[in-house]
Amino acid sequence: MNLIIMAIESSCDETSVAIIHNKKILSNIINSQKIHKNYGGVIPELASRNHQKIIISIINKALKNAKIKLNQLNAIAFTRGPGLLGSLLIGASFAKSISLSLKIPLISINHIHAHILSNFINKPKPKFPFLCCIVSGGHTQIIIIRNYLCANKIGETKDDAIGEAIDKISKLININYPGGAILDIYAKYGNKNKFKFPITIVPRLNFSFSGIKTAFLYFLKKNKKKNKNFIKKNKFNICASIQESIIETLINKLKKAIKQTNIKYITIGGGVASNSRLKNKLTKLSGNKIKIFIPNSQYCIDNAGMIAMTAYYKYLNNKFSNLKTCIVPKNL
């Protein structure tokens, strides 16, 4: 079989286009919009305007890097949701236009499904069934994956997503949005045991990250009263300590999920999966029985490579969409 698919990801503030040839990613161009830094979070209106402005050049770059011509494509895929309405509409409209003009099948993709299957881009690959912990700016879930197209969610956050909490905490200590990657770097220079933060106990395999965010705010207020330079003087220790509490919460729930399900193959996905402390702690979990799989960083953040990989498996299973397919901004 000789299958070439183009995939478009535009669910939030990354405009990304990838080309896949069978199971091999030929190109994966990601443009992260910088403008949102000025506002401390993603502004939906600006995100969609930027997708519109840049998408043609990203498509051309993806084709050029893959050394593929538009008329060689066998299918076109796009992110259907969850995500921002205006942003999703840009990717969906472009994909539909390409499908219509080239007369090729259209494949719609669930963004979370794609974060899970990002684990099949690099080697080694997990075996079914496996557990996947999705950790991103919009989601925190534990899912059992039974095959390429079948999954059951067994735990999720009841309030903030992990990345959302990390970004809000970062903002409180003057780290620009999205703060996760910088907080991770600062944490490397700090003492993770310097400060202690309360962890919200949530039943079953669910999470809550809004409590720690509020506790962090009060911790800063109290200490700034005593010393107005508290943040500046303790930045690295603060980052290391708060990161440790958040990652520890995640690892504890993952251990509980492993025990409950008896599943030995563990994967992660989403932007927070590039966190060095999380990777470090996960690696320590692996042993004779447990096997851990972590996607390469370019496939952790929002990217079209993971959309393309998911589209490949949907194509093999004849799961096509049509021009009437609507985007779904909320969780599918």
Residue 284 CB, nearest distance to Zn ion (Å)?
26
Q: Which of 10, 136, 141, 208 binds Zn ion (CB under 5 A)?
A: 136
Among 105, 126, 163, 329, binds ligand KG4 (CB under 6 A): 163
| Per-residue binder mask for Zn ion (CB under 5 A), 274-313, x = binder | ----------------------------x-----------
d(Cα 279, Cα 248) in Å, to the nearest integer?
12
DSSP of 94-115, one letter per residue? HHHHHHHHHT--EEEEEHHHHH
Q: Which is nearer to Zn ion, 126 or 271 (CB)?
A: 271
Q: Which of 198, 23, 216, 6 is nearest to 109 (CA)?
A: 6
C-alpha 285/C-alpha 178 separation (Å) is 28
Among 301, 307, 308, 327, binds ligand KG4 (CB under 6 A): 301
Whether 236 contacts 190, CB under 8 Å: yes
Q: Does 166 bind ligand KG4 (CB under 6 A)?
A: yes
CB of 276 to ligand KG4, least distance (A): 6
Q: Which does 208 bind (CB under 5 to 8 A by kind): ligand KG4, Zn ion, none?
A: none
The site string for ligand KG4 over 167-206 (x = CB under 6 A, - otherwise) reads x----------xxxx--x----------------------
- Total number of residues shown for the chain: 332
Residue 39: DSSP 8-state: G
We find the least distance from the C-beta atom of residue 4 to ligand KG4, in angstroms, to be 26
Quick one: which of 9, 160, 244, 302 contacts ligand KG4 (CB under 6 A)? 302
Contact 46, 293 (CB under 8 A): no
| CA-based nearest residue to 15, from 84, 97, 68 | 84
- In this structure, the number of other CB atoms found within 10 A of the CB of residue 115 comes to 31
Nearer to ligand KG4, 15 or 275 (CB): 275
Residue (155 or 269) nearer to ligand KG4, CB: 269
**Smallest Cα–Cα separation from 234: which of 197, 199, 276, 187?**
187
Q: At what angle do helices 276-285 and 230-261 cross, to 10 degrees?
A: 30
- Site residues for ligand KG4, 120-159, by CB under 6 A, read 136-138
- Figure out which of the listed residues 10, 274, 310, 321 binds ligand KG4, where binding follows CB under 6 A: 274
Residues 258, 272, 294, 327: which binds ligand KG4 (CB under 6 A)?
272
Give Cα 104 to chain centroid, integer Å.
28
- Confirm or reject binding of residue 295 to ligand KG4 (CB under 6 A): no
Strand partners, 273: none
9 lines the binding site for ligand KG4 (CB under 6 A):
no
Question: Cβ 31 to ligand KG4, closest distance in Å?
Answer: 13
Query: For the stretch 148-173, what's the b/e string if a residue is b when 16 or more beta carbons lie within 10 angstroms of its beta carbon?
Result: beebeebbbbebbbbbbbbbbbbebb
Count Cα atoms within 13 angstroms, Cβ side, for 152: 8
Interface with ligand KG4 in residues 232-271 (CB under 6 A): 270-271
Contact 106, 323 (CB under 8 A): yes
Footprint of ligand KG4 on 94-123 (CB under 6 A):
none
Write down the least CB distance from residue 297 to Zn ion, Å: 13
**Cα 328 to Cα 64: distance, rounded to the nearest angstrom:** 31
Note whether 275 binds ligand KG4 by CB under 6 A.
yes
Residues forming contacts to Zn ion in the complex (CB under 5 A) are 136, 302
Residues forming contacts to ligand KG4 in the complex (CB under 6 A) are 12, 136-138, 163, 166-167, 178-181, 184, 270-272, 274-275, 301-302
